[in-house]
Structure 1
Amino acid sequence: MEETDLDVIATPRDPARPARRTRYGRQPEGPDRPRSRLAPPRRRRATTAVVALSVAAVLSGCGAAAPRLEGARQAGVAFEQALADADYARACALLAPQTRQQLEENREKPCGPALQGQELPVADQVRGTQVYGRQALVRLRNDTLFLSQFDDGWKVVAADCALQGEQPYRCSLKGG
């Protein structure tokens, strides 16, 4: 008699021989047992965990958002502290290259004296920080700063910025 697939699947097991189980609690695969398409439970859980962590990393900016946020906040606070201490050389070092150049051209002075004559507000308390890729907005109690991330850290692109209703921010110190 010719054997069909149904005969193989329906072939009764020898009652004298107990059914073997794998460590996952399933019967082993073999010629008399159809192959399961599911991975073992432990592997499925590991795969699910990897996928979930990958999705979380993508949604959170690969985990880099918190360090970038803190870096931008610290740069903004350092700039404001330099202004409060009248340390204009340190404040100039925290300006973006284009902002520094624009300030020097507009005032026709080196950065330090030009920044001193700018009469920027001194702010101390950070109210909020937002990071958008390599750009950041730091809101302080008396000032709003825009920063960009450069190879050597966060630099102030614009300072003394005020929201103009429906219009964009107006900043007294900004780069070209």
Structure 2
Amino acid sequence: MRWTTRTGPRASGVLLAVLLLGGCGASAAREDGATEAGRRFAAALAAGDYRAGCALLAPETREQVEEDGRTPCALGLREAGLPPAGLARGVDVYGREALLRMTADTLFLSQFDAGWLVTAAGCEEQATEDEPYRCAVKGG
């Protein structure tokens, strides 16, 4: 974009600051939302509250857990044997998708109308590009 003499350096600086702050604020809110959802999921599993954990799964993931275990979600999630996730170490958000790295687990989340939900958990990074992560719990 080219600035004309009428906008001047001061006006263009203010516009640039507004654009940068607006972008950072939205990104920070998405990062915080994804991180908090992942923490709630990890806390529910650590407390043995698999029903609450299921409520934090995306619909397709919840259905897959039930289908894989041929049981209600809470029992299937318990049987998945996910490791205690630990503390959040970092989050990468790309639009409505997020990857949350925790001390002992990696979670994938998506933003739905109801908020951030876990789409995959118990994920381990793989050496191949074809399958960058293998996840114990994931949607279909």
TM-score range, shorter chain: 0.7 to 0.9
Match of 2:46 among 66, 75, 84: 84
Larger relative contact order (Cα-Cα within 8 Å, sequence gap ≥ 6): 2
Structure 2 CA distance, aligned partners of 1:38 and 1:102? 59
Rounded Cα–Cα distance in structure 2 between residues aligned with 1:147 and 1:135:
6
> Matches of 2:74 and 2:31 in 1, distance apart?
28
| Deviation (angstroms), 1:62 | 6.0
Q: Matched residues in 1 for 2:124 and 2:52: separation?
A: 24
Partner residue, 1:112: 74
**Are residue 52 (structure 1) and residue 16 (structure 2) matched?**
yes
Is the alpha carbon distance of 1:61 and 1:166 closer, same or farther for their aligned partners in structure 2, counting shifts above 3 Å?
farther
Q: Secondary structure at the match of 1:123?
A: coil
The structural deviation recorded for 1:54 is 5.0
Structure 1: distance between partners of 2:97 and 2:23: 14
Which 5+ residue runs of structure 2 have no aligned equivalent?
none
Taking a change above 3 Å as real, the CA distance of residues 144 and 108 of structure 1, as seen in their structure-2 partners, is same
Distance 1:171 1:38 in 2: 56
Residue 61 of structure 2 aligns to a residue whose secondary structure is: helix
Max Rg structure: 1
Write out per-residue CA displacement over residues 99-154 of structure 1, whole angstroms, 9 at most, x where no aligned residue.
Answer: 00011011111111111111111112111111010000000111000000000110
Partner of 1:158: 120
Within 5 Å, give how 1:15-164 maps onto structure 2. 39=6, 44-53=8-17, 55-56=19-20, 61=23, 63-164=25-126
Question: Secondary structure of 1:136's partner?
Answer: strand
Structure 1 segments of 4+ aligned residues over 3 angstroms from their partners: none
How does the TM-score come out when normalised to structure 1? 0.70
Sequence identity percentage: 49
Q: Deviations over 1:60-82 (max 9, x none)?
A: 73630001001100111110000
TM-score, normalization by structure 2: 0.87
